[in-house]
Each structure stands twice: as C-alpha cells, then as structure tokens.
C-alpha cells in the first residue's frame, strides 16, 4: 500500500493534541478553489486549438485515460478522509462511546445522501435521486472508513487491499461484451439498471464507493501521519516516498487494470494518490511552520466551509450567481479568450466572500 503501517500508526504518546492543522485546511481550500473555478478557470478558454486543448484538460475524459480534471473527485474524497481522525479524536476527548460515534456517522451519511439527492434533483429539474452523486458516495465511503478505522492498522491495510481487489474482481468476473470494463455494459452498469432503473453508460456507477472508500481511507492515514509529533522532514520523506510508490504501482498494473476513473480502478487510485500526496506534501512543507501559517488564510477560509461552498457551487452558481455577476461584468468580453477565465474568478471571489462572512462569524456548515 502507499503508506506503510509503521509510519502511520503512532502510539498515543506520539500524537499531538487535537487541534486544527492549518496545512490540511489550506489543502482542502485549494481543492475547493480548483473545483469551483473549473480548473482555475482554464476550462473556459476559447479561441484556438491550443486554448481548446488546455480547456480539455479540465473536463472529464469519456472513459479510459488520465488528465488533470480526473483529480478533482478523489481529492474531494481524500480531504473527507483527512478530517475523520481529527473528528474522532475530538469526540474521544468528549467521552463519546463507539455506539454514539456509530450513530453520529450513520446520521451524517444519511444527511449527505439526502443533500446529494436534493442537488441531483435540482440539476434534473425534477426529483431524481442517483447513487452516483458525489455527496451520496461520500456518505457511503465515510461510513465504511469509520468502521475500518476501528481495526488495528495492519487490518486496515488488508481492508484497503481487499477493497481494490474486490473492485477489480467484480469487473473481471462479470465482463461485458467488450471486456471487463465495457463502457456500455459492465457489471456496475448492469447493477444500476436492475437495482435503480438507471442506465449509466459511459458514466460512473453506484459501486464506485468500493474504490472511493480506499481514497477516503488513504486520507485518514495521511491525517494520522501529520497529526503525529514527527518532524517536518520525517513527514515530508514519508509523504513523498508514498507518492513515488503510488506512481510505480499505478503504472505497473495499468496494462492489466486500465486507468478508468469512472470505474475507480486500482491503477487510477494509485495514480491520483501520487498526485494528491504531492499536493499535500507541498502544503505541509509550506504551512507546517507556524511563522508561515497566516499566509494560508485565504485558503483556510474556504477549507473550513468546504461543504457550504460546494453546495453553493453545485446549486446556485450556474442558474443564478454566474448570470447575476455577468449582468455587471458582461463576462469581460473585451478581454477576448481570457474573458471567461476572469469571469470564473470573479464569480469565485463572490463565493469566497460568502465563506469569509461566515468565517468572521464563526459559522461553519456541517452536514
């Protein structure tokens, strides 16, 4: 696995007291900036073959392959996992029992699924619950990772390996007419047709939670590492070493298990983990030292209200916020091909200010 047991299972005496970790809040904020600006606004570039090629990097591939935009979903999942050890540590300090924590996790998973159904229905213009919605998948993965974290660390590693093997095994044992990862008739698509009456051709499937649970678990392990009292140098060596191992594993198995984000294959998991760990390494290096933490403030404002800005982005940006801003900006048409990029950042600044307003009043949305 990308993160060895001996480096991520510190004894209680090795773990720092429960507190917010600025570097991780900043990293979460960065992920939300990437998401809400649609790839820093670059997906809106227009005007020629080069601009079109760059813009394509920030849209999803139809099926197999890897490009920068395939990082946004797992990065969001990863940051959910990062928050879990901190939340459990706080609840432990409050004297919460396993039963109380389990009820809390179940209720939160149900709330996430509910919000997911609401968002999907708003996009569809009618009630339409779909199990592939991001918040729904987060709720399922969050629940399973909570259970896995109750195990000894070596069994957590076994669970992660078993989940990746299970994910591959389902596709391999029940192939479609065009092979295990048939984009029109694989096992995930067939399950969704039968269970939900939804055809997910060339789309994500409900069983993606098997793979995304591993990403959330990797995020939890990373939080365990950065919470420890290891030196900054030790943390960075472990994070960068795991990134290299992830890259090697992803490329090694890709000829057998192709890189398909919509099937959450193991090769895709290892490749996105390499990229995410490199990002986390940068933010830990930059903001772990206390004298630099104040510079993280613009990202922390977003990172501490990530669910709020996600809901605004998904429910309000396209139907209301972006058109309202465009009334005054005229989408910066005078700037030519750069106009849509600037428009995306202005719209994001409005969302950032909403987060700032909430931050100043210590209002933080939790689902």
Express each pLDDT in 39-80 by its tens digit: 999 999 877 888 989 999 999 999 999 999 999 999 999 999
Given a cut of 70, is residue 130 above it in pLDDT?
A: yes
Count other Cβ atoms within 10 Å, centred on residue 130. Answer: 20
If we measure between CA atoms, which residue out of 65, 35, 30 comes closest to residue 278? 30
For residue 297, the surrounding DSSP H or E stretch is helix 297-303
Angstrom distances, CA of residue 197 to CA of 83, 190, 192, 261: 34, 10, 6, 22
Q: 43-52, 101-110, 142-151: which range is least confident on average?
A: 43-52
pLDDT tops 60 at residue 13 = no
Percent of the chain with pLDDT over 90: 85
Q: Do 296 and 25 meet the contact criterion of CB atoms below 8 Å apart?
A: yes
CB < 8 Å & 24+ apart, contacts of 341-350: 341/40, 341/41, 341/42, 341/44, 341/45, 342/41, 343/41, 343/44, 344/37, 344/38, 344/41, 344/44, 345/37, 345/41, 347/317, 347/321, 347/322, 348/33, 348/36, 348/37, 350/321, 350/325
According to DSSP, residue 15 is labeled B
Instruction: Judge whether residue 12 has pLDDT over 80.
Output: no
β-bridge partners, 15: 228
- Structure tokens that stand for 209 in this block: 């939670």
SS3 at position 228: strand
Tokens 């895709």 label which residue? 268
Q: Provide the pLDDT for residue 257.
A: 97
Query: 81-100: buried (b, 16+ CB within 10 Å) or exposed (e) per residue?
Result: bbbbbbbbbeeeeeeeeeee
Give the per-residue pLDDT at 128. Answer: 80
* Among candidate residues 262, 125, 259, the one with its CA nearest the CA of residue 201: 262
Average pLDDT over residues 259-271: 98
Residue 8: pLDDT over 90: no
The residue among 271, 253, 366, 227 whose CA lies nearest residue 70 is 271
* Separation between Cα atoms, residue 236 and residue 255, nearest integer Å: 30
Which of 45-49, 79-83, 276-280 has the weakest average pLDDT?
45-49
Q: What is the mean pLDDT of residues 117-137?
A: 87
- The lowest-confidence range among 9-13, 35-39, 239-243, 247-251 is 9-13
pLDDT at 17 exceeding the cut of 50: no
Specify the range with the lowest mean pLDDT, choosing from 196-200, 238-242, 273-277: 196-200
Of 30-44, 46-60, 267-281, 350-364, the poorest mean pLDDT is in 46-60
Average pLDDT over residues 111-140: 88
41/142 Cα distance (integer angstroms) = 30
Distances (CA, A) of 52 to 68, 168, 261, 345, 366: 15, 34, 22, 19, 38
Q: For all residues of the chain together, what is the average pLDDT?
A: 92
Residue 15 has pLDDT above 70, yes or no: no
pLDDT, tens digit (0-9, with 9 covering 90-100), for 289-339:
888 999 999 999 999 999 999 999 999 999 999 999 999 999 999 998 899
Give the model confidence (pLDDT) of 202-235 as tens digits.
999 999 999 999 999 999 999 999 999 999 999 9
Rounded to whole angstroms, the Cα distance separating 58 from 78 reads 19
Looking at beta carbons, which pairs linking 189-198 to residues 24 or more positions away fall under 8 Å? Answer: 192/131, 196/130, 196/131, 198/130
Q: What's the pTM value of the predicted model, to 2 decimals?
A: 0.92
96 pLDDT above the threshold of 50: yes
């Amino acid at each position: 696995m990308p993160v060895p047991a001996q480096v991520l299972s510190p004894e209680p005496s090795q773990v720092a007291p429960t507190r917010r970790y600025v570097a991780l809040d900043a990293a979460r904020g960065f992920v939300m900036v990437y998401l809400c600006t649609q790839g820093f606004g670059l997906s809106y570039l227009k005007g020629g073959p080069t601009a079109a090629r760059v813009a394509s990097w920030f849209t999803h591939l139809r099926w197999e392959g890897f490009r920068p935009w395939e990082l946004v979903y797992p990065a969001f999942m990863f940051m959910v996992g990062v928050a879990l050890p901190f939340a459990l540590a706080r609840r432990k300090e409050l004297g919460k029992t396993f039963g109380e924590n389990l009820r809390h996790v179940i209720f939160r998973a149900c709330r996430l699924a509910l919000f997911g159904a609401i968002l999907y229905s708003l996009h569809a213009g009618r009630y339409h619950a779909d199990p592939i919605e991001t918040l729904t998948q987060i709720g399922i993965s969050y629940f399973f990772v909570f259970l896995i974290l109750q195990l000894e660390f070596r069994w957590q590693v076994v669970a992660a390996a078993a989940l990746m093997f299970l994910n591959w095994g389902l596709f391999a044992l029940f192939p479609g007419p065009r092979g295990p990862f048939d984009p029109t008739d694989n096992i995930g698509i067939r399950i969704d047709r039968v269970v939900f009456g939804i055809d997910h051709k060339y789309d994500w499937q409900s069983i993606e939670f098997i793979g995304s649970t591993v990403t959330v678990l990797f995020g939890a392990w990373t939080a365990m590492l950065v919470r420890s009292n290891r030196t900054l140098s030790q943390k960075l060596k472990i994070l960068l070493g795991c990134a290299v191992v992830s890259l090697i594993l992803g490329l090694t198995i890709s000829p057998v298990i192709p890189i398909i984000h919509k099937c959450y294959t193991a090769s895709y998991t290892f490749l996105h983990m390499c990229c995410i760990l490199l990002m986390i390494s940068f933010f830990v290096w930059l903001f772990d030292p206390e004298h630099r933490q104040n510079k993280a403030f613009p990202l922390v404002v977003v990172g501490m209200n990530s669910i709020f800005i996600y809901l605004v982005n998904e429910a309000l940006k396209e139907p209301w916020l972006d058109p309202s801003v465009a009334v005054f900006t005229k989408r910066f048409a005078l700037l030519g091909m750069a106009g849509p990029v600037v428009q995306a950042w202005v719209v994001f600044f409005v969302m950032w200010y909403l987060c700032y307003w909430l931050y100043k009043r210590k209002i933080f949305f939790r689902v």
